[in-house]
Structure 1
Amino acid sequence: MTATIQVEKTKLKRPPLDIHVLGDRVLRQSAKRVSKVDDNTRQLVRDMLQTMYSADGIGLAAPQVAVHKQLLVIDVEPDNAARPPLVLINPKIIRHSKELTVGQEGCLSIPGVFLDVVRPAAIEVAYKDEYGRPQKRQVSDLLARCIQHEMDHLGGIMFVDRVDNALALNQELQKHGFSAKDVQVIT
């Protein structure tokens, strides 16, 4: 089986899943490993992809839709119909670059908020694909940032927890109706 899961990269009026937002306790729980990759897993992947595209996202982690499984869907080229999305099940970063980069991040669980976050510029990630086959990839730039961001969700971490500029963080959260008390600063 070489086909990847394909869904139309379009916005649905009623996406199949609800995305939870900052302040919801479901986002702070750790995800469990996926023990068996089966048709139910692939249907969850389809639903997550449709939900992500409907929200104009480039990444979505299962905990964001209240499913506590180590599963991510990513598509850094949502406007490119020919490029299939990436599905990472039980992802694990096995190497990361010493070089760090600062980049602006946003999150479907914190709509409207965009802030700078420091992350390794490149990573090597091991994971299972949507058919349970072991995979390994070296990625950099936006894809590396996106994978690290989504993997944080698997441990109950949100990108705002990693923002160094407390003043900008508080202003952005307040401006978009979120509370700074829902941030869990990582030191």
Structure 2
Amino acid sequence: MSILPILKWPDPRLSQVCAPVGDEDVSDLAAAMLETMYDAPGRGLAAPQVGVMKRMFVMDCGWKEGNPTPEVCINPEIISLSAETATGEEGCLSIPNAPVEVERPVSVLLRWRGLDGAMIRRELTGFEARCALHEYDHLDGCVIFDRIGDSDRARIEGAYLEAQK
């Protein structure tokens, strides 16, 4: 496999809604995305972050603690979200060194297709829910800057763009 280049915000592709994955084999893409995510090092990576405008993401919330649990989520769908929310710091591989506090539901019931074609339906809680919702946002053209208030966004976005010069 190979490490894929990660798009950096404000690349316009990061603001686009992705198309569903069809019947094509995405196993090579999934393997390359996992390798790229681990190398970055991140805990999640969505296909549009590597320039593939398809509804697919990978995540592994336990690998940094020595408990690897890689997931490949193809055409994920949110079935339900908890009413309870929590605010936590989120970073993004496409917006390096610009973490922001984001409020999200503490659990999500998610359905997706796995690499073997089987449908998976699972309730994710805590950090797993936060990670999946972050990656899911990318499939709808949403980045962490879109999840914060206007004044915070202007300040953090401005500092990020200035640091990129």
TM-score, scaled relative to structure 2: 0.91
Residue identity (%): 36
**Deviation at residue 174 of structure 1 after TM alignment:** 3.0
The count of aligned residue pairs is 163
Q: Does 1:20 align with 2:7?
A: yes
**Deviation at residue 26 of structure 1 after TM alignment:** 1.1
Q: Does 1:174 align with 2:135?
A: no
- Secondary structure of the equivalent of 2:94? coil
Kept in 2: contact 1:75–1:85 (CA 8 A): yes
TM-score, scaled relative to structure 1: 0.81
What amino acid is aligned across from residue 33 of structure 1 in structure 2? Answer: P
What's the C-alpha RMSD, in Å, of the aligned pairs? 1.8
- After superposition, residues 80-91 of structure 1 pair within 5 angstroms as 80=65, 83-91=68-76
Structure with the higher fraction of residues in helix conformation? 2
Unaligned runs of 5+ residues in structure 1 are 1-6, 8-14, 180-187
Kept in 2: contact 1:37–1:131 (CA 8 A): no
For 2:147 and 2:54, the matched residues in 1 are separated by 22
Kept in 1: contact 2:145–2:157 (CA 8 A): no
**Deviation at residue 89 of structure 1 after TM alignment:** 0.4
For 1:24 and 1:150, the matched residues in 2 are separated by 17
Task: Give the match for residue 52 of structure 2.
Answer: 67
Unaligned runs of 5+ residues in structure 2 are none
Structure with the higher fraction of residues in strand conformation? 2
Q: Does 1:53 align with 2:42?
A: no
**Deviation at residue 80 of structure 1 after TM alignment:** 4.9
For 2:15 and 2:64, the matched residues in 1 are separated by 31
Deviations 1:117-147 (A, max 9, x none): 1111101000001111100000111000110
